[in-house]
Amino acid sequence: MTIVSIHIAEREGGNVSSVQEVRAVPGRGLEGDRNFTAADAPPKKPGGGREVTLIEAEAIEALDRDYGLKIAPGDARRNLVTRGVALNHLVGREFRIGEVVLKGRRLCEPCEYLEKLLGAPVRPGLVHRGGLRADILQGGTIRVGQSVQ
Q: 46-62, pLDDT tens digit by residue?
A: 667 889 999 999 999 99
Domain coordinates in residue numbering, the chain? 2-143
* pTM exceeding the 0.75 threshold for the entire prediction: yes
pLDDT band with cut points at 50, 70 and 90 for residue 111: confident
In this prediction, residue 128 carries a pLDDT of 93
What is the pLDDT, as a whole number, of residue 86? 97
Contacts of 104 (CB under 8 A, 6+ apart): 49, 87, 90, 91, 92, 93, 94, 95, 132, 133, 134
With a cut of 90, say whether residue 149 has pLDDT above it. Answer: yes
Q: pLDDT tens, 11-53?
A: 988 899 999 999 999 999 999 999 897 666 666 566 678 899 9
pLDDT at position 146 over 90: yes
Decide yes or no: CATH 2.40.33.20 for domain 2-143.
Answer: yes
- CA torsion sign, 24 to 86 to 46 to 111? positive
What 3-state DSSP class applies to 18?
Answer: strand
Mean pLDDT throughout 94-102?
A: 98
